[in-house]
Amino acid sequence: MAAFYGQKLLLRLQACQLAHLRRAFLASAPEDCKQVLGRNEPRKKRGKEKNLKQQRGSLDLDSSWEKRLSSVVTPLCGLPYEEQLKVKYEKLKSILQTVTARLKELGADHLETTQMPDGICCPLKPLIPSPIVNGYRNKSTFSVNHGPDGNPKTVGLYVGTGKGRNIVCVRANHLLNIPQGHFQVAQCYEELLHQSPLDPCLLFHTGGHWRELIVRTNRKGDTMAVVTFHPQHLNPEELSLQKELVKDFFAHGPGTVCGLSSLYFQESVMTRCSHKQSPYQLLSGEPHIFEELLGLKFRISPDSFFQINTAGAEVLYQAIGEMSRADKSTVLLDVCCGTGAIGLSLADRVSRVIGIEVADQAVEDARWNAAFNGELNPPNTAAVITSSLHENLL
């Protein structure tokens, strides 16, 4: 997220207390945001939302599993892309109208809403289409659990929730937003699990080992795969054997069709483990994949954040540069900067870029990217090399 400081923005932030802003945002946020942000809201309110979700879930009991998964992961896929953009635009406008009304109720009457169309507190420009609509994801995370047929070694995405105890893992090879290469790695991983005598780890306290699979790709066709494995009570020799089996499967067995450029193994005892908590172990191939974006080259590690839609990110960063009106007097603060893509893509416009990131591998990647692109583009050297990336600064 990139932030440009201006007097007008600071005055608006000072107009309301943070607690008021939080309540205003929660009142208008989509349901999936409320699940995370609204945990401290009154229980009665959350109970109503829970009942509504249960009613929605019961409507599709007779749908095929593929359709049910599509409705969860890509709910607008049945509409032409132009119609999808209209739906998203109207949803954003509705959210802003609700936020504006709540801010007025909280005493922020001086917001210049009278000059804005549709009674919203800030301009809402038309949505910019993505250059690529299908198969655009450069990262996919596949889970392991019981499939529709009850097979506990099914690799796919979830329908249902753990809290509702109704999770079903559905193979995702019909989804339009995931490239075929990701499906191929997932199918091979499922074959590996079927060959293994070890059980999948569905719940940590019930044992089992095989967990999720992460697949990352770039536009050149390089593919990185990360196999997540719960060690349970295996000794070092037994763990080494499992790593060799995974490596051999993708290097010499059925997994060779995936053509992996990087294969990692992570011993994970939690739902999500960072590289610092449990290091990613390179089994074969290159330690990184690289992506080019707006004439810059970016190094990407297993644990680093990079925009899911690379072509869409190029459009996004160009729009940020135009709308920000940044110039050589601007200091750009790139919060949660990941590999530094936003800051570095705008570095030639500003006097300095400061990146903030907590993931160790992302910090290392961002520093490498700043140094490499500074050497690659001499006219931008001063702006890029002065980039300062800080670890664990919130």
- Whether 233 and 317 have beta carbons less than 8 Å apart is answered as no
- Whether 308 and 137 have beta carbons less than 8 Å apart is answered as yes
Q: How many CB atoms sit inside 10 A of residue 109's CB? A: 10
Q: Which residues, 6+ apart, have CB-to-CB distance to 11 below 8 Å?
A: none
Assigned token pair, 166: 């109704």
Which has the closest alpha carbon to 391: 349, 363, 370?
363
Assigned token pair, 195: 């060959």
Give the phi and the psi of residue 87 in degrees, each rounded to 5.
-60, -45
- State whether residue 188 is helix, strand or coil: helix
Q: Is 307 labelled as part of a ligand binding site? A: yes
Q: Is 357 labelled as part of a ligand binding site? A: yes
Q: Which residues, 6+ apart, have CB-to-CB distance to 342 below 8 Å?
A: 1, 2, 317, 320, 334
- Fill in the amino acid letter for 51: N
> Taking the C-alpha atoms of 282, 286, 289 and 295 in order, what is their torsion angle to the nearest 10 degrees?
150
Q: Which residues, 6+ apart, have CB-to-CB distance to 57 below 8 Å?
A: 160, 164
Assigned token pair, 311: 């072509």
> Taking the C-alpha atoms of 83, 84, 85 and 91 in order, what is their torsion angle to the nearest 10 degrees?
110
Assigned token pair, 81: 């892309």
Strand spans (E) along 75-199 = 139-145, 154-159, 168-170
Q: How many CB atoms sit inside 10 A of residue 237's CB? A: 7
Dist CA 115 CA 123 (whole Å)? 10
Annotated binding site for S-adenosyl-L-methionine: 307, 357
Annotated binding site: 307, 357
